């Protein structure tokens, strides 16, 4: 017969196989929207809350249990961590793609168009987010807006 720990483990496997990918779906595309975009922030916040609520239910702990405690106990990272990991992986794949890659050509064209026309679409917001990241994390001599 199954014990409680077996049941929790099976539920966790289902969570990792079905629910977690649903929370990660498409994040390389929408994950870089501006931190000042209130609609995107609201969606991210709601997703993180639901993600943590599922984990707490899975563990059978009260909803008031600290997120940090749950993540540490389950040896997991936050949803935001996975979003950034996948987003950066997506951008790295595009950056390392051959110069003739259609996806890369479309991205470069859209970035140039967004930059030239001051468009506030996904790519315009991505460019702003990348500049902010570079400004915050790279030595000042390495940051260039040109």
Q: What are the pLDDT digits (tens) for 62-84?
A: 999 999 999 998 888 888 888 88
> Residue 65 and residue 57: Cα distance in Å, rounded?
11
Residue-wise burial string across 65-101, b where 16 or more C-beta atoms lie within 10 A, e elsewhere: eebeebbeeeebeebeebbbebbeebbeeeeeeeeee
Question: What local confidence, expressed as pLDDT, does residue 65 receive?
Answer: 92
> Residue 65 and residue 54: Cα distance in Å, rounded?
12
Structure confidence at residue 113 as a pLDDT band (50, 70, 90): confident
Q: Report DSSP state, residue 35.
A: T
Structure confidence at residue 35 as a pLDDT band (50, 70, 90): low
pLDDT digits (tens, 9 = 90+) for 81-103: 888 888 788 878 888 889 898 88
Average pLDDT score, the chain: 76
Cβ atoms 125, 32 nearer than 8 A:
yes
Nearest partner of 110 among 99, 126, 133, 97, judged by Cα: 126
Stronger pLDDT, 40 or 16, i.e. the higher one:
16
pLDDT digits (tens, 9 = 90+) for 12-33: 888 888 877 887 777 776 655 5
Please state the φ and ψ torsions of residue 8, each to the nearest 5 degrees: -65, -40
Structure confidence at residue 4 as a pLDDT band (50, 70, 90): low
Q: What is the pTM of this model?
A: 0.61
Q: Give the mean pLDDT of 55-59.
A: 87
Structure confidence at residue 134 as a pLDDT band (50, 70, 90): low
């Amino acid at each position: 017969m199954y014990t409680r720990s077996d049941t929790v483990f099976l539920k966790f496997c289902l969570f990792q196989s079905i629910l977690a990918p649903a929370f990660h779906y498409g994040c390389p595309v929408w994950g870089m929207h501006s931190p000042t975009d209130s609609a995107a922030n609201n969606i991210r916040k709601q997703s993180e809350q639901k993600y943590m609520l599922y984990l707490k239910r899975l563990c059978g702990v009260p909803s008031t249990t600290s997120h940090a405690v749950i993540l540490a106990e389950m040896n997991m990272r936050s949803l935001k961590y996975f979003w950034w990991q996948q987003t950066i992986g997506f951008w790295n794949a595009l950056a390392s793609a051959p110069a003739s890659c259609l996806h890369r050509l479309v991205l470069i064209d859209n970035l140039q168009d967004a930059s030239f026309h001051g468009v506030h679409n996904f790519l315009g917001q991505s460019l702003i987010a990348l500049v902010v990241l570079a400004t915050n994390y790279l030595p000042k001599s390495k940051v260039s807006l040109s």
